[in-house]
Amino acid sequence: MRITSARNPKVKAWAELKTRRGRREQGLFLVEGAREAARAQAAGIRPHAWLVWPERAGAEEAARLADAPVYELSEAAMRKVSYRENPPALIGVFERPERRLADLPPRPRRVLVAVEIEKPGNLGAMLRSADASGADAVLLVGDAVDPENPNVIRASTGAVFALPLAVAGHEEARSWLKARGLQLAATSPAADRVYWEADLARPTALVVGAEDRGLPAAWLESADLAVRIPMEGAADSLNASVSAALVLYEMLRQQSV
């Protein structure tokens, strides 16, 4: 372990990791908080550096870190790097994983397909539900928020690291799913069938789109079935993460019988 002074030119580069462009250019991303950082490490993601706020973390916190240099940052520097209003005592700088389809389980039974989800909080909550309901894999499709966005990590409470997850284009994702014999269950408010009436006992990929636009036509056309969630009140849509959670747990219930 090497502890380095806070005064170094890397602070600016670390702060740039709060942006998608910075993450892409540097091949790194931030993980804020000890719990989330531990989950990233447990998933085999390699740490590049540890950033410690000594006044909050204490020297004993830095002493437990391994496999990467430790940098003690001042409060001002920590606030510059952190995405949060109240920075944590510890921020990990990790190497970005590749997120390839080839690394997903070869015979999944429950898959979440998140299509063009742009809100980090929504995606993070979807990943948390996917992990809790025992999904075998998650596909992020199209022009979506990247899984290393700090708010995705925070909203998922680190579940983003526990799930087999890949990023793919629309055609690539559909081909991968069909090749594994998964039925595609698309969520749509226009569907005739309520989700609990659908046969989700067989290996299924749940396809969820952004709540403001829904799924692109190509996904609805290629789906084996479409399901809806009943809406009894004045609201005309549910949060995408809530919709995903409801159907994921119905998949779990039917496949557990």
| pLDDT value for 106 | 92
Q: Which residues of the chain have pLDDT under 70?
A: 1-9, 57-65, 233-237
The span from the first CA to the last CA of the chain, in angstroms, equals 50
Q: Name the architecture of domain 101-256.
A: 3-Layer(aba) Sandwich (3.40)
| pLDDT value for 59 | 46
pLDDT digits over 32-59, tens only?
Answer: 988 899 899 999 999 999 998 887 755 4
Q: How far is CA 169 from CA 101, 219, 236, in A?
A: 11, 12, 29
Token output for 231: 């809406």
| pLDDT value for 241 | 92
Q: What is the pTM of this model?
A: 0.89
CA distance 231 to 105: 35
CATH number of 3-95: 3.30.1330.30
Q: In the predicted model, what is the mean pLDDT of the chain?
A: 90
Extents of the domains making up the chain: 3-95, 101-256
pLDDT digits over 86-131, tens only?
Answer: 888 899 999 999 999 999 999 999 999 999 999 999 999 999 999 9
